[in-house]
Structure 1
């Protein structure tokens, strides 16, 4: 098989989607040519400047404005501002010949077949034979688009459907045309997963493909159920949000964010193009949707949809009267029963047996979804796991429909369908008859799925690049306590997985981590600290700190902080390599832990930082010491050392959080030349394991404790104190902020030493712990911690 490389891509169309895709290719280091049409008329500003339609700045206005708007949007489409330099802009008249030099051309123009076909006709004149050419369409059949194109074009042409926003949503649907070469599909499938960090799913060329066909069915089915069950918009969002492992925006809020017009466009497409779908009638839009479309209540973009903001109040639409009322908190007895169940997958059995309106809703909702997905095979895909993959990656569901059905029980699922007057597809009954009682099984650490033609459980392909902790936790467990599970990843590498709420770091987690180091030092070659929860760790257990401080148990609190510091130092100075694998929120203590590992293998989507100022303390688990040490290591001859130290001081003092792993290098939290970034989070643990093994194989030597940290003493302390004074005088910071900042200044300056001095790490840790403890005696710090525990938000007092 030829080794195809993507060094340069041309993206045709710079709208929200085109610019977003361009940014994501720039994220992974690809050179991007972004092209769009030229404007037909001048703007007043351009006329005033005496410009004409022939000027380059005018000809490239549409593409440049679109890219600039995309780069300004929040959340950002780009990992690091400098990566935008990898994108070159141009227009489809002056620059179209440049597509002859790219490895992949992707069309992302408006969803109209005639326009797409005319774009392909122009592109074919300049395209080099053998170049990949794909369309990012969310619904136009692929076979219509390549009609009339050359043999070589059709062989290298297919659909590549990204979900918006391209950086954050993981689904990458690949849709073959009638003549697409198998090697093209194989390449794109691998490229999407390995380089773009996506879940690649090869779909069939059916209306709306996999993700939108199932996702839009789910939303439409809710639209039709909501009135018959007498549920409000807020109640449906409560029932279809995090409680069942779906995004916080649940159903109606998601439609507001995406735009009602977008949803209606796809639903109409399915209604028109799937006349034989057994749920055809459900794709017909209910009256309230027609009224909303007429009123242009499209959601966030038009200022109102199912929800509307008035001042600080959120109003919700009453679907019966179509008037907005203050939104009410929804409560259901069935949901109360699931409050103590941490794992979402374990809640479904309870939800479908609920005795209230919520129970009715879940039975109806899951019955219709189970029946629908069973009938979509083999129409939209031959393999059931692809439907689950598409819903998880494209719609942010924690579990796909077949996984939920397994959790409820396959037979129970059929029973609730029958009660709703629905039938499952015959292959499900055949599966039960063949002795398979579930859609999925785990064998030898790998997930298997029920293969319908073979009537047997087959291994899902492509898993060899991944380590899935759920699949190995029981069989590979080496140690377990209430805070962690330590698993054997093979090849002499252990993994320490946190199991606490939001992966907070308390005494049990620290004990587990110490135990993992003990076991690794005795019988293994290296240790990874990683997990596959939503977030790596939100930091130290502040509830525990709060209790000790309120009870004034300062000796215990001092011991607890020292235990944290000692554990971090133990990680750094153990006789085996330690690799941290942060992802998602990695805050406070989670960040400190990563900074003390020998190496960090961070997921690109890592939001990391030392945020202790928000709860009225300084980093106390070695973070303040570590920033002073890293500043000392970067003092180069001729550097203004105070300025370098100030940068590190401000990273803590402003509680900076990186919005991607690449930004963490700028903050000094990750280190160039030592730490690395992985775009696909699914590959992260396998990559971390490989690095731990490599460090062990090339001969890891236990590091010698540092006694050469240069601190600047009074000189730095004076500068910091003057700075915090000025900031407090001009009301940038509160008095308490100043107090915390001054404590941090004392630690990072190494105390009030009369001249720059070399000190040990332990010296700095003792200063850090003393400062942390003294802040825990402050009423305002306790108020901050209490506020964070209650609301999850920082308090400025």
Structure 2
């Protein structure tokens, strides 16, 4: 692959997609030039200021307003407000010549071929030879955009379809033309994966590419099924949500979020451009959707769609559902189905699919009516939209949030066992004939009974051309615990599995609910360190679940506190603290690999690891204030230690203490890995960010090996932590008192704040003093236990356990 570097990107078009693509490139440290059109008319406010159409503020108004809107949006497109400085704005008239210095030019203007061609006319004038040019289109054929362009332009031109929002959705489709150099395709596949953190999927230049072709087919097929099966909006969303391995927004809520107009535009595009598709009738919209569009019931953007949020008679917010027969809104019905209940206790998604498919109620019937035509449809799309079927699964997981792609679900149900059922299923959806593509029959006839199989920890797919299994390209750098656990498990209990990752590195994987930390997890961590110190070189703490860890098992704490078993509670907290300390002071390097939620104890364990290799999307924080206590697993001690180290760097002591105190006191949770550092949960030089979640464990293993090979030495516990004593307590108590007086915090919040201040200041020492970590841990544990004896703390814990939400009492 050519040694190509991307230091500057030009994004042409600053709409919803363009501005957010610009933000994501800034997230990874690239300089961005963001351009858009020059306004033709002045706004009244601009006239009042005496501005003209030649004023720079006016000429850059469109791009600046778009970027400002993006940055203010929720969820944020940027890892930190600081990265915005990497984005420079301009307009097509004044700044197009500046694209000459760009390494990659991305066109993201309106979805009209004539306008895109006009933009590319300008690009041809100014781009330097060899510069990448890509178009972020969701439907316009890529080869049409390349027509009439120079040979160098064509050789370096490709489609790059980001899914919205680009920061969060992992799918990036790469769509080359017949003229695109192979080295350019290879580079984009690699860059998207490693640098942008995407699942890069190679697509053919066919209508809607892969993600939207299959995703929109699936969604629209459901809209036809609803009428035939007599299902309600709520039932469909319940059936197609997490129980099926799909996002919580399921089907109709997703349509409301995306916008019905967007869905209709893609459907119309498919109806126009995929006329030879045997299921083209699916892209003809049901009458109720046509009526909704006519009424401009487009979803959240218009205030109502399949759901409508209102204020009820009591003044409370209530979400109504649309009755698809009458097109009137009504109260939502509670959805119950025996099949859904049967799936609840099945954590393994593949086993859950079998339970779902065997259901005898309407949930089971719906599952079969949805999936059997889908299996038939995706098999027929090979080789039309892709030569390798695994790319369809990749696109549906990364672009639509499915836990399993359609071929993976088919595998879970049994490929051969399902064939007859597909044929027998009632033909409710246009194009469903019951006839599966020949290549599937050929696969089974050749003795291969599954689309995928695992060999030596590597996932292989059935290659249609060679009629054999091949490793999925690009996954050799992944460590997937599901693929190695059966052969590489060293030890396990009900909360932890310890796996040999090879090269002398162990992995400790939590598998409790939300990966909360209780006795079994504590035992498992100590066992992992024991094993690593005896026979291995290092330890990684990570998993392939939905979250790293939501923190301590507060249910266990609640029971001990309610029963006033303070000796047992003291032992439990001390054991937790000792575990955090052992992570730091073991004889082998420990690397934590957090992602998604890393809260409370999950954050504390990360803070005590030798190194933190975290995913870019890590939401880390010490949130114990929300349940009426202070961090008790070493987190309060650790913030006092880090504040002390900052004192030594000559910082203003009071400000350092205040910042650290407020991070815990306000239960601040980072919105990204970058912000986790800004909040003080990560230390400079002791963390690194993996952009691609699939590479996190492999990156963490590589870091553990690096630390071991560098000659890791067991650290010595600190005894030189400077605490401020009464000098700091005065600051803390005065601040808490003024916040209470202003009704910003409750009386109990004030008490918790003062307890935290007591720990971080080392108690009421008469002057700044150096103390040990153990001294601070003892104070931390004492404060934690005293707060567990407070009625209002128990109320907070109980409220969190029953509602999942914090109580401010």
TM-score, normalised via structure 2 length? 0.98
Question: Which residue matches 1:130?
Answer: 130
Aligned pair 1:515/2:527, yes or no? Answer: yes
Distance of aligned partners of 1:727 and 1:271 in 2 relative to their CA distance in 1, 3 Å threshold? same
Question: Which residue matches 2:645?
Answer: 633
DSSP-derived class of the 1:564 partner: helix
C-alpha separation between the residues in 2 aligned to 1:786 and 1:638? 43
Aligned pair 1:577/2:589, yes or no? Answer: yes
Deviation, 1:415, is 2.5
Contact 2:573 2:633 in 1 (8 A): yes
Aligned pair 1:370/2:382, yes or no? Answer: no
C-alpha separation between the residues in 1 aligned to 2:517 and 2:441? 47
Aligned pair 1:667/2:679, yes or no? Answer: yes
C-alpha separation between the residues in 1 aligned to 2:350 and 2:13? 41
**164-173 vs 119-128, which moves further:** 119-128
Question: Which residue matches 1:617?
Answer: 629
Question: Which residue matches 2:416?
Answer: 411
C-alpha separation between the residues in 1 aligned to 2:247 and 2:117? 37
Question: Which residue matches 1:281?
Answer: 281
The 5 Å alignment of 1:527-538 reads 527-538=539-550
Contact 1:747 1:767 in 2 (8 A): yes
Could you give the per-residue CA deviations for residues 635-672 of structure 1, whole angstroms, max 9, x where no partner exists?
03653312211111111000000000100111110011
Aligned pair 1:656/2:661, yes or no? Answer: no
Could you give the per-residue CA deviations for residues 244-297 of structure 1, whole angstroms, max 9, x where no partner exists?
111111100001000111111111111111111111111100101110111111
Question: Which residue matches 1:756?
Answer: 768
Aligned pair 1:338/2:343, yes or no? Answer: yes
C-alpha separation between the residues in 2 aligned to 1:713 and 1:343? 52
Question: Which residue matches 1:469?
Answer: 481
Question: Which residue matches 1:144?
Answer: 144
The 5 Å alignment of 1:530-609 reads 530-609=542-621
Counterpart pick for 1:379 among 357, 380, 384: 384
**148-157 vs 506-515, which moves further:** 148-157
**384-393 vs 409-418, which moves further:** 409-418
C-alpha separation between the residues in 2 aligned to 1:407 and 1:638? 60
C-alpha separation between the residues in 1 aligned to 2:189 and 2:745? 51
C-alpha separation between the residues in 2 aligned to 1:638 and 1:233? 61
C-alpha separation between the residues in 2 aligned to 1:352 and 1:412? 12
C-alpha separation between the residues in 2 aligned to 1:508 and 1:417? 44
Question: Which residue matches 1:25?
Answer: 25
Question: Which residue matches 2:430?
Answer: none
C-alpha separation between the residues in 2 aligned to 1:707 and 1:149? 69
Deviation, 1:698, is 1.0
C-alpha separation between the residues in 1 aligned to 2:650 and 2:610? 29
Question: Which residue matches 1:120?
Answer: 120
Distance of aligned partners of 1:703 and 1:273 in 2 relative to their CA distance in 1, 3 Å threshold? same
Contact 2:2 2:183 in 1 (8 A): no
Contact 2:100 2:126 in 1 (8 A): yes
Deviation, 1:538, is 0.2
Counterpart pick for 2:806 among 781, 785, 794: 794
Question: Which residue matches 1:498?
Answer: 510
C-alpha separation between the residues in 2 aligned to 1:19 and 1:413? 45
The 5 Å alignment of 1:385-424 reads 385-420=390-425, 421=427, 422-424=434-436
DSSP-derived class of the 2:173 partner: strand
DSSP-derived class of the 1:172 partner: strand
Contact 2:2 2:187 in 1 (8 A): no
Aligned pair 1:349/2:354, yes or no? Answer: yes
Aligned pairs, number: 797
Question: Which residue matches 2:199?
Answer: 199
C-alpha separation between the residues in 2 aligned to 1:638 and 1:344? 53
C-alpha separation between the residues in 1 aligned to 2:80 and 2:96? 28
Contact 1:108 1:137 in 2 (8 A): yes
Question: Which residue matches 1:189?
Answer: 189
Could you give the per-residue CA deviations for residues 59-112 of structure 1, whole angstroms, max 9, x where no partner exists?
110000000000000000000101000011000011001111111111000001
Aligned pair 1:736/2:754, yes or no? Answer: no
Contact 1:20 1:166 in 2 (8 A): yes
**209-218 vs 333-342, which moves further:** 333-342
C-alpha separation between the residues in 2 aligned to 1:188 and 1:637? 43
Contact 2:541 2:590 in 1 (8 A): yes
Could you give the per-residue CA deviations for residues 290-342 of structure 1, whole angstroms, max 9, x where no partner exists?
10111111101111110110020101110000000112221111100111112
- Which 4+ residue blocks in structure 1 deviate beyond 3 angstroms? 636-639
C-alpha separation between the residues in 2 aligned to 1:13 and 1:600? 37
Deviation, 1:494, is 0.8
Deviation, 1:158, is 1.0
Gaps of 5+ in 2: 312-316, 428-433
C-alpha separation between the residues in 1 aligned to 2:46 and 2:397? 46
C-alpha separation between the residues in 2 aligned to 1:633 and 1:549? 35
Contact 1:207 1:273 in 2 (8 A): yes
Deviation, 1:345, is 2.2
Contact 1:370 1:413 in 2 (8 A): no
